[in-house]
Chains A and B, each alone.
Chain A
């Protein structure tokens, strides 16, 4: 299953195969750093606003596709807030990976990360930061990066197939 996370309210991109789409539908509340998703309701965020199950959705996907405005080399606040709220995908315990501390797996699926960043005037430095962060995300998910693409506008994305 492909898990598509986007900040686009109007999503008009064709997708091949089975997928789940998470896009802005009502306000999203930000992570408050309580770790309730690890110690109170393990696997699910404690904030019940419709976005609390993203960590579990990640546990069921084979590919995670992020479609986001590029924000200084980061994903946008909406997509980032979803990522912050879905750390329950991983286990709180630490493990060493590539010589660095990361979190253990909760699920057995291996996520392949693809990112599509859009925005006017994305600088080369921002592109490099975005690529670095996708690699770092994949290391933390114990997955891998498939592709990272950049577009000058969200409109350009309508010409691709996911």
Chain B
């Protein structure tokens, strides 16, 4: 069985989507032929389109942008709808990460992916919404199932089992195991550090034009 992992983050490196796919890969890599693809831009190359035809399952991972799918990835989905790919029984899974704490806020982005499956004829097979995703790419690696990423690891383990069996599942929504008020505080401190590093002042964060 061949599984395609599709990184839909616009970031070429250090993305939360990439980190989640790497974590997922650890569960499936010895049991299936797993190939990574990057959808960082609004157009998918002919070579990648041809490669994708060979996969039994596609796993999309992307960040939540304004309650939905990033614009560039939406372009890719339209391109994928228009090209007549073989294997209508292909299973589609989604992993959405978001800066907000509550994974449930990814619900509508997963709905978009499900609606896309109806248009393409592929089998919508479920996904995960991961809250607190802004911290994922920066988290030190911990033993699988331990530390702040434990709830995410657990959800990925369940999803990986479904992917390997090409089964469908209900969407799952999780958050990092880190208190919400501390996550909020850490983010706010982070923005202040970032603007200073870019030569600005803390008050510039609220600048009005």
**A contact residues vs B (CB 8 Å cutoff):** 30-33, 35, 38-40, 42-44, 53, 55-56, 59, 71-78, 80-84, 87, 91-94, 100-102, 106-107, 123, 125-126, 128-129, 132-133, 136-137, 140
A-B contact pairs, 10 of them (CB 8 A): A32-B10, A39-B194, A42-B204, A59-B209, A71-B78, A80-B65, A83-B71, A93-B205, A100-B105, A132-B107
Q: Do B112 and A74 touch across chains, with their CB atoms under 8 A apart?
A: yes
A76 to B9, CA, bound (A): 18
Say how far A103's CB is from chain B's closest CB, in angstroms: 9
Q: Which residues of A contact B194 (CB under 8 A)?
A: 35, 38-39
Report the separation of the CA atoms of residues A6 and B65 in the bound assembly, to the nearest whole angstrom: 18
Contact segment of B148-156, B158-166, B183-191: B183-191
Residues on A with C-beta less than 8 A from B26 are none
State the 3 A-B residue pairs at the shortest beta-carbon distance, nearest first: A81-B71, A30-B72, A80-B71
Instruction: For B78, list chain A residues within 8 Å (CB).
Output: 71, 77
Name which of A71, A82, A83, A87 has the most chain B CB atoms within 10 A of its CB: A71
A73 and B111 contact, Cβ closer than 8 Å, known pairs A33-B63, A39-B200, A92-B191: yes
- B residues 168-209 in Cβ contact with A at 8 Å: 180, 184, 187-188, 191, 194-195, 198, 200, 204-209
Give the most central of A32, A40, A72, A136: most B CB within 10 Å: A72
Q: List the B side residues contacting A126 at CB < 8 Å.
A: 115
- Whole-angstrom distance from the CB of B156 to the nearest CB of chain A? 22
- Report the minimal beta-carbon distance from A128 to chain B, rounded to whole angstroms: 8
Interface majority SS on B: helix, strand, loop or mixed?
A: helix
- B4 in contact (CB, < 8 A): no
**Complex: A35 Cα to B195 Cα, angstroms:** 10
Interface of chain B residues 60 through 83 with chain A (CB within 8 A): 63, 65-72, 74-75, 77-78
Residues of A within 8 A of B187 (CB): 92-94
Are A31's CB and B10's CB within 8 A? yes
Task: Decide if A84 touches B66 in the complex (CB within 8 Å).
Answer: yes
Neighbour of A33 across the interface among B10, B66, B75, B112, CB < 8 A: B10
Q: A84-B65, A87-B66, A129-B115 are in contact. Are A53 and B42 (CB under 8 A)?
A: no
Confirm or deny: B93 has a beta carbon within 8 angstroms of a beta carbon on chain A. no
Query: Which residues of A have CB within 8 Å of B207?
Result: 42-43, 106
Number of interface residues of B (CB under 8 A): 48
Q: How far is the CA of A76 from the CA of B68 in the complex (A)?
A: 11
Residue pair A59, B208 in contact (C-beta under 8 Å): yes
Can you name the residue of chain B whose Cβ is closest to the Cβ of A108? B208
**Cβ-defined contact, A129 with B112, below 8 A:** yes
A72-B191 CB under 8 A given contacts A33-B10, A101-B101, A137-B66: no
Q: Does B11 contact A (CB under 8 A)?
A: yes
Contacts of A82 in B (CB 8 A): 71
B37 at the interface (CB under 8 A from A): no
Q: A40-B198, A42-B207, A106-B206 are in contact. Are A32 and B11 (CB under 8 A)?
A: yes
Contact of B208 among A39, A43, A84, A100 (CB under 8 A): A43
Q: A42-B200, A77-B71 are in contact. Are A33 and B9 (CB under 8 A)?
A: yes
Which residue of B is nearest A81, CB measured? B71
Residues of B within 8 A of A30 (CB): 10, 41-42, 70-72, 75
Q: Give min CB distance, A16 to chain B, whole Å.
A: 27
